[in-house]
Structure 1
Amino acid sequence: MPIVEFLTINTSEAYIKDPASSVQPLVDILKKTDGCITFYHGAQEEGEKTKGHVAIIWETYEHHAALMRDPSYPLVGEAFGLLLAPGIPQENASMDHITFLVDSETALSAPTTEIATFTLKEGGDPQDLDAALGDLAKSIDAADGAHPPCCWGSSRERGGLFFLLVGWDSSKAHIASASSRPAEVKVVTDRLRNLADVAVVHTAFSKA
């Protein structure tokens, strides 16, 4: 499976006003880069659009690593900087690489994408968390308003951090689905909350 470079960013005013124009210089570079498949970006629904998410799909991690070693990489940093709020770049963006077990593009190309993160609690077993997410995925994929399959996987950089991406008709459809199956959802979510700290946000991604 391809690997997804997933970034959470504090967005610049320029990106908030005109996302497409802000990402274009970066997209122009990546389109010429060996191994880069697809670029998605979007403002986070929760909050005042000061948070954003970028998902870059690579054939392999090594393709992205090769770009980071290339002498031209500072140009990538300059283009990426157009998306970021002023300040130290490391404070304005986090980067993880995730190999999802199924294709992530179905979730990313849906009208709304649920981005759920699960941070394993101290002493927890990643395999237990992975198994619980697999059970959750079965429930989600059968839900009204979902765009199956959802996908999940752990961060290459942070082994105790798992991502789950789910495509929905809308964030309201996600909430309605959980409300319509309270007993079923509670069993799975209680199990997950015993294993990990959970955070959920929504983004409408655009493909560039």
Structure 2
Amino acid sequence: MPIVEIVSFTASPAALADVSLGDASLKYTKNAEGALSVVRGFQVEDKTRGYTVITWESLDHHKKMTERDDYPAFVESLKPTLASPLQIQHVQFDGDATAAFTAPVTEITIAKPKEGKTRADIEAVIEEIKKNSHLVKGAHPPLAWGKVQQEPEAYVLAIGWDSVEAHLTAVKVAPIDSLVAKLAEVADYDLKHVTLNQ
């Protein structure tokens, strides 16, 4: 089953001034064996935060890329574009996440159980939200979710939207309003909006 790699970072001033500085690294990744799709963009809330989302045939395909002879040179080539270390998460979503990562705006939420709550508590609420996501105006369902391989207590939820405004409106309308409140009862979560392009 495909695995999605979500890479985030603070972009350097040079990369913010000229996003084409990242084109060579984007091409390298797109041409890697097993890379099904690669999109990149910036966070809406903090326009200095860059994102690259890679869908791999498997985690082994990602590992094979890191074992290539030219991989150290690839890593070195990233440095002029970065103002922070890379944050990398591998997520095996419960289904196809294409709709989330090809929408005009992608909501990426990282959720962890609150003290005294369990992963099962979070999963139950996420499933309820997913079941109702097709009813929401401006959404690009399905909601995709899965555990972060590097952090088993953490989940990533991804869903596409027409716009940030569409999302902010949706969470005020039943049944999503009560489900978001339920999620807040069982999870600490961090929500960001990202605009991604091929």
TM-score under structure 1 normalisation?
0.88
Counterpart position of 2:41: 42
Structure 1 residues without counterparts, runs of 5 or longer? 86-90
Counterpart position of 2:110: 117
Letter in 2 for 1:28: K
Counterpart position of 1:88: none
Contact 1:41 1:206 (C-alpha < 8 Å) held by counterparts = yes
Counterpart position of 2:23: 24
Contact 2:3 2:57 (C-alpha < 8 Å) held by counterparts = yes
Residue 9 of structure 2 is aligned to residue 9 of structure 1: yes
Counterpart position of 1:140: 133
Equivalences for residues 74-153 of structure 1 within 5 A: 74-85=72-83, 91-153=84-146
Paired residues in the alignment total 198
- Residues 90-147 of structure 1, C-alpha deviation per residue, up to 9 Å, x if partnerless? x532101001112111111101111111022345322331222111122223100011
1:180 and 1:191 map into 2 onto residues whose CA distance is 14
Q: Tell me the SS of whatever aligns to 2:169.
A: helix
Residue number among 169, 172, 178 corresponding to 1:187 in the alignment:
178
Superposition RMSD in Å? 1.7
Q: Tell me the SS of whatever aligns to 1:138.
A: helix
Cα gap change, 1:37/1:83 in structure 2, threshold over 3 Å: closer, same or farther?
A: farther
Q: Tell me the SS of whatever aligns to 1:41.
A: strand
Q: Tell me the SS of whatever aligns to 2:151.
A: coil
Cα gap change, 1:191/1:178 in structure 2, threshold over 3 Å: closer, same or farther?
A: closer
Structure 2 residues without counterparts, runs of 5 or longer? none
Percent of aligned pairs sharing the same letter: 30
Cα gap change, 1:170/1:103 in structure 2, threshold over 3 Å: closer, same or farther?
A: same
Contact 1:23 1:82 (C-alpha < 8 Å) held by counterparts = no
Higher strand share: 2
Q: CA deviation at 1:7?
A: 1.2
